[in-house]
Chains A and B, each alone.
Chain A
Amino acid sequence: MKLHELSVAALGRGLREREFSSVEVTRAFLDRIAARNPALNAFITVTAGRALADAAAADARLARGEGRPLTGVPLAHKDIFCTDGILTTCGSRILGNFVAPYDATVVERLDAAGMVLLGKTNMDEFAMGSSNETSGYGPVRNPWDPGRVPGGSSGGSAAAVAAGLAPVATGTDTGGSIRQPAALTGLTGLKPTYGRVSRYGMIAFASSLDQGGVLAQSAVDAALVLAAMAGPDARDSTCIERPVPDYVAGLERPMRGLRIGIIREFFGPGLEPGTGAAVQAALGGFRTLGAELVEVSLPNLPLSVPTYYVVAPAEASSNLSRFDGVRFGHRCADPQDLRDLYERSRGEGFGAEVKRRIMTGTYVLSAGYYDAYYLKAQQVRSLINADFRRAFAAVDVLMGPTSPTPAFPLGAKVDDPITMYLNDIYTIGANLAGLPAISVPCGLVEGLPVGLQVIGPHFAEELLLAVAHAWQRETDWHQRRPPEPAGGTA
């Protein structure tokens, strides 16, 4: 196998056993990026020089026998994570010149684990999107079909890992932004429990929903990286003080007796038949492994999309007020007065979808509308949460599709916000309730990957990874790779 085809686990092992060096591995991925990124647009920034220097330092540690599981293994960060001294755009033109003066906790921890940063990946602007088409730096192409989207908002991370430009990448998930692109590109994407991974240094979209996680080639890789990035952080009040289990050690677990709840509401008319069939087949696979399948109903779950499109824009409208052209970021030319400075800097710096969400959020919080929209949505959020709690009293995990359809063509939904929003119909519930959820590849429909979603109770990452791993021991969907373009590769 070529270096860029190896998993994180295999790279870590090979590095520690000195089969290859981190510099060799890093160079291989940088070569892949140079060759493929112009077509995919998965990276906004490539940090080649720094990556090679970090790789050399990792090699020195490995030579001294100080290697740990991730030492010298490259990765890519979604450009939502602040990286000290490196351009951090959050997919927005308003941060087109923003060099973060500090590292996000996630960045700091994966750095401390010895990982080598290849660069920052493209994303929907401020993580607002499900197709990567709202990026201020151009859309990302799906490696499985360059005419299609990779999903979003962590589309750059997804495309980079799927195409072998990085062995693993971080992402963030506010309404499905890790799981949906993972599903659309054939990856394993884990959104942890809200509060499991620090949000410090992760540029906020909707603070009560945002959660950092990982897009990987397998449950094993996701477990390795999550173990290094999760855990308490004194700089984030919402990050829970709870020890991090050994996710890798917890992977081997029999599925016999596992109670799986099939979410009835996830198999309605909006589900594309091929996707539904692939998911049903996967559910059958778990039955074969000895799991018990029961249908469960979460009656309020269909309201998750409208609930989300009140709560998330409300929080976003406030979170994005700091981009005002005063202390950082884009500032309009020749502001006439303060109002002009604000309105033009923000008007020029933000894209259309971000503006729509800021205005939606501003509206639902404004005097006279707060109760009817914002408060109501918080109440429905309570109902949805209660539905999940009831379900988990009866089952260990919930399953269903991650996305209603496989990857759709670029431009297909870009003009219609509602249709675009409905892409996240199966993923948003977990964000509203703060639950961990994982998407694992479970089939191909007309050459495009399909994802199975597994949702667990709070802090059940270990169980979700074990379920995903059990599935991946029986199947090879996660090892399928998109076709290489004609004309050779690096």
Chain B
Amino acid sequence: MTLTRRDVENIAHLARLRISEAELPAYANNLSRILGFVEQLAAADTAGVVPMAHPLEGEVQRLRADVVTETDRHERYQQNAPAVEAGLYLVPKVIE
């Protein structure tokens, strides 16, 4: 798999990463090599093999009781926030 600069731009946008023009060729090269490397998986015979999403087979989801355990701590949590006003997190204006 050889990725073009354009491919890298598309992936970077999907992942919301700014990659500079100067960096694009190196990313294209490295990502192509990584994808080339993992393509050896194609040779494995996996016909009928159940995909393994989780290392603990047979374990099932636990259910929590429907109980409110949290209190209002937004002031503490928002100490980490870059921009807050009136308890709201701020982002540049979004037009839907």
A360–B35 CB distance below 8 A: yes
Query: Per a CB cutoff under 8 Å, which of B12, B34, B55, B64 touches A417?
Result: B34
* Nearest chain A CB to B86 CB, angstrom units: 16
B18–A344 CB distance below 8 A: yes
Interface check B80, CB cutoff 8 A: yes
A97–B80 CB distance below 8 A: yes
B52–A340 CB distance below 8 A: no
* Nearest chain B CB to A447 CB, angstrom units: 33
* Nearest chain A CB to B23 CB, angstrom units: 8
A321-374: which have CB < 8 Å to B?
321, 324-329, 331, 335-344, 346-348, 350, 355-356, 358-360, 362-364, 366, 372-373
A49 to B89, CA, bound (A): 33
A241 to B42, CA, bound (A): 37
Find chain A residues with CB under 8 A from B81 CB: 326-328
A237–B62 CB distance below 8 A: yes
Find chain A residues with CB under 8 A from B82 CB: 325-326, 329, 331
A380–B41 CB distance below 8 A: yes
* Nearest chain B CB to A337 CB, angstrom units: 5
Interface check A238, CB cutoff 8 A: yes
B41–A341 CB distance below 8 A: no
Find chain A residues with CB under 8 A from B13 CB: 343
Closest to B23 in A: A352
A310–B41 CB distance below 8 A: yes
Interface check A240, CB cutoff 8 A: yes
9 contacts between A and B (CB under 8 A): A194-B55, A303-B41, A337-B92, A338-B91, A339-B16, A343-B16, A347-B19, A356-B31, A432-B55
**Chain B interface residues toward A at CB < 8 A:** 8, 11-19, 27, 30-31, 33-35, 37-42, 44, 46, 49-57, 59, 61-62, 64, 73, 76-77, 79-83, 89, 91-94
Q: List 19 additional contacts besides A309-B34, A338-B91; criterion CB under 8 Å.
A: A208-B54, A208-B55, A306-B37, A326-B81, A326-B82, A328-B80, A340-B92, A341-B91, A346-B15, A362-B14, A366-B14, A373-B38, A379-B50, A379-B52, A381-B52, A382-B46, A383-B46, A385-B52, A418-B33
Task: Please provide the 10 A-B residue pairs with the shortest distance between their CB atoms, ordered closest to farther.
Answer: A434-B55, A347-B18, A378-B51, A379-B46, A331-B82, A328-B80, A342-B16, A343-B18, A382-B52, A306-B38
